[in-house]
Structure 1
């Protein structure tokens, strides 16, 4: 079964360092909480709001051991009025036997406001 694992984070300034640091933190938590091995991953989609132009968020994932051959892409979020600015979202497609309810989605920074119902208190 392929399951989607979602996550999102925000940055304050559009700099390469800030984007990479935020995405590394987000991905490290998602990988840890969901016990993801890169060989389980079918693909990863990152999206970013219009304000983010300094770097592809996927660049951060390449710093993780074993993720070299995982298919990754980046795209722009649709510009919805009053949406959360400076936001980076991720969707990871993982081969797993765990149920939808057991998936641990991760929202950090200002992105916690996007899905407080999915943010688990650990």
Structure 2
């Protein structure tokens, strides 16, 4: 996210969720048991879960939290941990990292 503005946070969250759905064929909101959104300490203007609710995830239990402010960590990052009810094996699930967040898990990005 380029700045701590509600519209930018919601737009980035929608983009992340849309990419997760696109990359994981068969994932539907009704298959999601819950979602945990985290933001870095420099993002506080809105809840990222609001974007999911706007995308018909209204029945999915969601929680938002702050990441630990580790010195030198990436700024302005939104993360989501989706608990998905699926029969797929772990190696069949595509983990999504956008923009600078690819630096967080280069091992997973390279495997895709």
Between structures 1 and 2, the one with greater strand share: 1
Within a 5 Å distance, the mapping from 1:60-99 to structure 2 comes to: 60-65=51-56, 67-99=57-89
Q: Name stretches of at least 5 consecutive residues in structure 1 with no aligned partner.
A: 1-10
In the alignment, structure 2 segments of 5+ residues that lack a partner are none
Structure with more relative contact order (C-alpha pairs < 8 Å, separation 6 or more): 1
Give the aligned partner of residue 100 of structure 2.
Answer: 110
Q: Normalising by the residue count of structure 1, what TM-score does the alignment of the two structures yield?
A: 0.86
By percentage of residues, which structure has more helix?
2
TM-score, structure 2 as length reference = 0.93
- Which residue of 1 is the match for residue 17 of structure 2? 27
Q: Is the counterpart of residue 54 in structure 1 residue 45 in structure 2?
A: yes
Question: When the two structures are aligned, how many residues end up with a matched partner?
Answer: 111
> Cα RMSD over matched residues?
1.4
More displaced 10-residue stretch of structure 1: 53-62 or 33-42: 33-42
Question: Moved runs in structure 1, 4+ residues, more than 2 A?
Answer: none
Structure 2 Cα separation of the partners of residues 118 and 30 of structure 1: 14
Displacement, 1:90?
0.6
